[in-house]
């Protein structure tokens, strides 16, 4: 499988969309080399505005720019948007229904050695709770490109969460992003795995290991956190009766919570959220952090096997 970071795909997508749409402007807050908006600024310097290390003003300026008929992408690290600029995103950008796409990189633990100050583990919760803000988390470079194309061509505010490291390319090149739709990557009958972002590949690995243990797991990529694919979640949850959600985020308020909200009126469905259990991360290599905080395929499998044995009587591996 090819490896590519979602932030690299983001930078390339901006260049591509910039050539098609002269109305597209991009802003960054002194992190254009990290976020890869530097690819756009190199090609279209007159359409790029660096706000300096001032995320709150960047969000406000982008909002105002959009009200003069522009499509604006703002970028920084996930920890600074929505983190640093939360009130500006809520009260100016989304409240005024601005045509601004907040596309952030370096989300979650996989930031690695920079440590917990730069590992955003709350941003899914913070973004999806704002009324009218669409929230997207692509799982690979192909989906990133497709999601950004969709967001730039869809009026209104979007939050798109990307990562720092290279990740395997799962989707085929002609993949088309559908807002509000989940994607079944693997069919299965015993349990349902639902995840987003970097965790999608971990889930696919998990499903393989589970198969060796005679558990048939279906894997659903859920890139559209808001709006979320309620029908798919309900149908699959009813089918297997056992759902595991995986996210590089706190288990409080993220994808897992969104899934739980979707099936709150369903009976006899077991749901377990896998993610950070109300703790900050720390410095380390991404793979070390995934191991320590229970996000690696091996750790996820361990957790699932333990629960599966307890919940499904008669199962013995």
Partner 1 sequence: MENHSIKNLDKIANLARQNIIKVTTEVEGGHLAGSLSCIDILVVLYFKVLSHNPAMPDWDERDRFILSKGHAAPALYTVLAMSGYFPEEELYTLRKINSRLQGHPDSKKLPGIEISTGSLGQGFSAAVGMALGYKYDKKNGQIYCLVGDGECDEGQVWEAAMFASSYNIKNITVIIDRNRYQIDGETEKVIKLEPLKDKWNSFGWETMEIDGHNLNQIQEALEKARGTRTVIIANTIKGKGVSFLENNNKYHSKPCCREECSLAIDELNKKLEFI
Binding region for partner 1 (CB under 8 A) out of 8-16, 46-54, 215-223, 232-240: 46-54
In this complex, which beta carbon is closest to partner 1, that of residue 59 or of residue 167? 59
Q: Are 293 and 199 in contact (CB under 8 A)?
A: no
Judged by CB under 8 A, the residue of 38, 54, 129, 252 near partner 1 is 54
Question: Any residues with CB less than 8 A from the CB of 57 and at least 6 apart, and which?
Answer: 51
101-120 footprint of partner 1 as x/- string (CB under 8 A): --------------------
Judged by CB under 8 A, the residue of 9, 17, 39, 59 near partner 1 is 59
In this complex, which beta carbon is closest to partner 1, that of residue 50 or of residue 116? 50
* Conformation bin of residue 284: beta by default, left when phi > 0, alpha when psi is -120 to 50: left
Q: Please state, in angstroms and rounded to a whole number, the distance separating the CA atoms of residues 116 and 134.
A: 26
Q: Are 226 and 236 in contact (CB under 8 A)?
A: no
Judged by CB under 8 A, the residue of 9, 17, 31, 51 near partner 1 is 51
126 CB-side CA count, 13 A: 22
Judged by CB under 8 A, the residue of 32, 35, 92, 250 near partner 1 is 92
Q: Which positions from 15 through 34 interact with partner 1, judged by CB under 8 A?
A: 25
Q: Which positions from 61 through 90 interact with partner 1, judged by CB under 8 A?
A: 61-70, 87-88, 90
Q: Are 200 and 139 in contact (CB under 8 A)?
A: yes
DSSP alpha helix (H) spans, 175-296: 199-212, 230-240, 255-262, 286-292
Q: Does 91 bind partner 1 (CB under 8 A)?
A: yes
Q: Please state, in angstroms and rounded to a whole number, the distance separating the CA atoms of residues 75 and 59.
A: 9
In this complex, which beta carbon is closest to partner 1, that of residue 68 or of residue 313? 68
Q: Would you call 55 a catalytic residue per the annotation? A: yes
Report the nearest approach of partner 1 to the CB of residue 103 (Å): 17
Binding region for partner 1 (CB under 8 A) out of 33-41, 55-63, 218-226, 304-312: 55-63
In this complex, which beta carbon is closest to partner 1, that of residue 92 or of residue 257? 92
Query: Could you give the C-alpha distances from 240 to 108, 188, 218, 265, 297, in angstroms and in order?
Result: 29, 8, 9, 16, 20
Report the nearest approach of partner 1 to the CB of residue 21 (Å): 14
In this complex, which beta carbon is closest to partner 1, that of residue 87 or of residue 214? 87
In this complex, which beta carbon is closest to partner 1, that of residue 73 or of residue 300? 73
Size of the site for partner 1 (CB under 8 A): 28
Q: Which of 12, 16, 55, 288 is catalytic?
A: 55
Q: Are 300 and 275 in contact (CB under 8 A)?
A: no
- Token pair recorded at residue 136: 């997207």
Report the nearest approach of partner 1 to the CB of residue 308 (Å): 48
Report the nearest approach of partner 1 to the CB of residue 123 (Å): 20
Judged by CB under 8 A, the residue of 6, 56, 110, 296 near partner 1 is 56
* Conformation bin of residue 105: beta by default, left when phi > 0, alpha when psi is -120 to 50: beta
In this complex, which beta carbon is closest to partner 1, that of residue 67 or of residue 303? 67
DSSP alpha helix (H) spans, the chain: 6-20, 32-35, 38-43, 55-66, 86-88, 123-128, 141-152, 199-212, 230-240, 255-262, 286-292, 297-311
Query: DSSP string of 278-315?
Result: S----SS-HHHHHHHTT-SHHHHHHHHHHHHHHHSTT-
Question: Which stretches of the chain bind partner 1, using CB under 8 A?
Answer: 25, 49, 51-52, 54, 56-57, 59-70, 87-88, 90-92, 95-98
Give the active site residues: 55
């Amino acid at each position: 499988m090819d490896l590519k970071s979602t932030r690299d795909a983001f930078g390339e997508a901006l260049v591509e969309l910039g050539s098609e749409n002269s109305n597209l402007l991009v802003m960054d807050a002194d992190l254009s080399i990290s976020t890869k908006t530097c690819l756009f600024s190199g090609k279209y310097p007159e359409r790029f505005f660096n706000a300096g290390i001032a995320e709150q003003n960047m969000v406000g300026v982008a909002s105002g720019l959009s009200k003069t008929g522009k499509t604006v992408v703002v970028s920084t690290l996930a920890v600074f948007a929505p983190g640093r600029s939360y009130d500006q995103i809520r009260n100016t950008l989304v409240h005024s229904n601005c045509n601004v796409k907040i596309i952030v990189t370096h989300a979650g633990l996989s930031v690695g050695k920079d440590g917990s100050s730069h590992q955003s583990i709350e941003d899914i919760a913070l973004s999806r709770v704002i009324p009218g803000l669409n929230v997207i988390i692509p799982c690979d470079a192909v989906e990133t490109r497709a999601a950004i194309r969709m967001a730039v061509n869809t009026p209104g505010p979007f939050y798109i969460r990307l990562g720092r490291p290279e990740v395997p390319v799962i989707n085929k090149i002609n993949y088309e992003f559908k807002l509000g739709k989940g994607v079944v990557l693997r069919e299965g009958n015993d349990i349902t795995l639902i995840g987003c972002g970097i965790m999608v590949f971990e889930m696919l690995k998990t499903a393989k290991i589970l198969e060796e243990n005679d558990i048939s797991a279906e894997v659903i990529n859920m890139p559209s956190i808001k709006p979320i694919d309620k029908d798919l979640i309900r149908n699959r949850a009813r089918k297997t009766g056992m759902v595991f959600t995986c996210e590089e985020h706190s288990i409080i308020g993220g994808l897992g919570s969104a899934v739980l909200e979707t099936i709150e009126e369903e009976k006899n469905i077991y749901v377990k959220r896998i993610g950070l259990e109300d703790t900050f991360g720390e410095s380390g290599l991404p793979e070390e952090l995934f191991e320590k905080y229970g996000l690696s395929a091996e750790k996820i499998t361990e957790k699932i096997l333990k629960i599966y044995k307890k919940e499904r009587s008669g199962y013995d591996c």
